[in-house]
Chain A
Amino acid sequence: MARAHSPRRMLITTIAAWGVALLIFFPVLWMILTSFKTEASAVASPPQLFTADWTTENYAEVWARSDYPRFFWNSVVISVGSTLLGLALAIPAAWSMAFVPGRRTKDLLMWMLSTKMMPAVAVMVPLYLVFQKTGLFDTRIGLVLALMLMNLPIIVWMLYTYFKEIPGEILEAARMDGASLWNEIVHVLTPMAVPGIASTLLLNVILAWNEAFWTITLTTVRAAPLSAFIASFSAPQGLFYAKLSAASAMAIAPILILGWFSQKQLVRGLTFGAVK
């Protein structure tokens, strides 16, 4: 039955939707506006949404004072690297869970997910020591490994959900047609799951890009990504809100743009399997 859409109802829904969207977006908006203020107007009391003396000086200063391209490149390597490595491990894992489940597959999936419920700080000291002893501390490969392991449960779960939607008979047909396991995964399963794999990839790149706890804990200078770049503007010199905002805006801009262009794919990925 179609639900009635009276103009009044539409108006209320639209206003509510805009209100919620604005509420969620407001911190980002505030940050962007602050990044164009002088330090004085950034800390003005009472706070001002708009100011008379707009400036781009903060960006120039942040750019001059730090090596943004290096942080940016580290972020790219770490987020893309950890996601690709995670996918390479998760595709076979999700395949076996979806198509040849064992008696304990469901338990295994739950256990994987339960690791995400553990506070990260609980394993900070052991992981820190392991990284120091093995020479992985402050290396990009170390962070790729760490973030891959952090996000692996999510990648496996997402792919598992997609793979479950693929009829097993198609894979059996491939087996009858003489496809090896490798060919079955490469020529049949993966192309059929491309939308799902793309959503998983995008979401995990975003998660890894935004990850701050481990990237700040396990790096100092060489492998530090943009999350550490933001942090470096808060501690030693006291709080310079305008510059901090400019640094934050520069750090989130690439992923914000990526998210904007791929939002259709992301929404589809997150709601996949929810509605039949």
Chain B
Amino acid sequence: MGKIVLKQIRKSFGEVDVIPGIDLTIEDGEFVVFVGPSGCGKSTLLRLIAGLEDASSGKTEIDGRDATNLPPGRRGLAMVFQSYALYPHMTVRKNIAFPLKMAGMSQAEQDRKVEQAANVLNLSNYLDRRPAQLSGGQRQRVAIGRAIVREPAAFLFDEPLSNLDAALRVTMRQEISELHQSLKTTMIYVTHDQVEAMTMADKIVVLNAGRIEQVGSPLELYNHPQNLFVAGFIGSPKMNFITGEVAAQYGCTTLGVRPEHMVVSSGGPWEGVIGLAEHLGSDTFLKVDVPGLGVLTVRGSGEMGLHHGMAVRLGPQEGRLYRFGPEGKALA
């Protein structure tokens, strides 16, 4: 079991409200990703759930039990930190066994569980090494191992992959997703990387300035962003926003068009000059300077044969437009 309910959780540091009051329900077995720009309060929210920060007000329930005032070790949660936070003076074996030792488990039981976790995480050959003798990926696995052996109600991940190189990050991302598939335990994952969020999550919570902007599945957020912030944050490259007369023609204050929904064709309504063309082979990204509209990003599939300085006509795909009102809210 691992259902977590936050009721009006608020956190302030002195005069500053970092989290002004959040209501959120995380269902048992869900993979939830908190995503948002730096300083949006996502890590603070995770630490509030972990018990590493005390909430200024509000209530945290874990499996129906009020956990608001429980210390971190008694919440039944396990956390994987960005810096791995391994105990440098202990071997891998002792690192993984540490929570079991703290729980007063017998040595035989500790050994059995450590062996089991090491098998799952391919760490069996490294059990007698110290963290300093391991690579970044191996250290991350040890941190995950230390979390697994506790059989927690939920795993909390605080930007666990940001210290790894790009290739390893992809591998570890898959490993964590597979781990979730096999353990079926609730996982809460904090990241600023929206690709991680989109690929791993069952449910994404988009945060901005301590507030939840939207909660939904990755494709819900992509297809139906509730406001400008979510529309701009989810999707890469970022959505194009067009204001002024053109937006007014569509009956809105801001018109949103995703780069992948821009079409370059001779019949397009807008004309501009290519300022930058990036050729990735599989995709081509264009920055087109359209007078009156600004610089629009276009994502085309394959090689488009377009270059810097060329004049092109372009327009949005019909039925793929996002319309926003004066306060940035999505219009139906």
Chain A residues in contact with chain B, CB under 8 A? 167, 169-170, 172-180, 183, 187-188, 191-192, 194
Contact = CB atoms under 8 A, between A and B. Distances in A.
The 8 closest A-B pairs by CB, nearest first: A178-B73, A177-B99, A173-B85, A178-B102, A169-B85, A191-B89, A175-B72, A176-B79
Contact of A176 (B52, B82, B88, B103): B52
Contacts of A183: 102
B190 to A, nearest CB: 14
Given A177-B150, A183-B102, A172 B83 contact: no
Contacts of A187: 98
B72 A176 contact: yes
A192 B71 CA distance: 23
B63 to A, nearest CB: 17
A176 B50 contact: yes
Contacts of A170: 85-88
B146 A177 contact: yes
A176 B103 CA distance: 12
B87 A188 contact: yes
B73 A179 contact: yes
Contacts of B86: 170, 173
Interface in B54-73: 71-73
Contacts of A191: 89
A63 B74 CA distance: 63
Contacts of A174: 87, 98
B229 interface: no
B234 to A, nearest CB: 29
7 contacts: A169-B81, A172-B52, A173-B81, A173-B86, A173-B146, A175-B73, A178-B99
A172 B77 CA distance: 13
B206 interface: no
A2 to B, nearest CB: 28
Q: For the side of the interface on B, what is the size category?
A: 20 to 34
A194 B90 CA distance: 13
Contacts of B98: 174, 177, 179, 187
Contacts of B150: 177-178
Contact of A175 (B52, B82, B83, B88): B52
A169 B83 contact: yes
Given A176-B72, A179-B73, A192 B88 contact: yes
A169 B79 CA distance: 11
Nearest to A179: B102
Interface string B84-113: 011111000000001100110000000000
Contacts of B50: 176
Contacts of B72: 172, 175-176
Q: Which of A172, A173, A175, A191 has the most CB of B within 10 A?
A: A173
Given A169-B83, A172-B52, A177 B73 contact: yes
B71 to A, nearest CB: 7
A151 to B, nearest CB: 27
Nearest to A171: B85
A227 to B, nearest CB: 38
A176 B146 CA distance: 10
Given A167-B85, A176-B77, 4 more contacts: A173-B87, A173-B146, A174-B87, A180-B73
Contacts of A188: 87
A217 B239 CA distance: 80
Contacts of B99: 176-178
A172 B81 contact: yes
A175 B74 CA distance: 9
Contacts of A194: 89
B73 A173 contact: no
B153 interface: no
B182 to A, nearest CB: 22
Given A183-B102, A191-B89, A192-B88, A176 B73 contact: yes
B33 interface: no
B145 to A, nearest CB: 12
A44 B300 CA distance: 101
Nearest to A193: B89
Nearest to B149: A177
Contacts of B71: 175
Which of the listed residues B77, B86, B89 has the most CB atoms from chain A within 10 Å of its own CB?
B89
A97 B298 CA distance: 54
A108 B105 CA distance: 41
Interface in B92-145: 98-99, 102-103
Contacts of B79: 172-173, 176
Nearest to B101: A187
A180 B146 CA distance: 17
A178 B78 CA distance: 10
Nearest to B77: A176
A121 to B, nearest CB: 44
B154 to A, nearest CB: 12
Contacts of A175: 52, 71-73
Contacts of A169: 81-83, 85
Nearest to A178: B73
A178 B77 contact: no
Nearest to A166: B88
Given A172-B52, A173-B79, A178 B103 contact: yes
B102 A177 contact: yes
Contacts of B102: 177-180, 183
Nearest to A168: B85
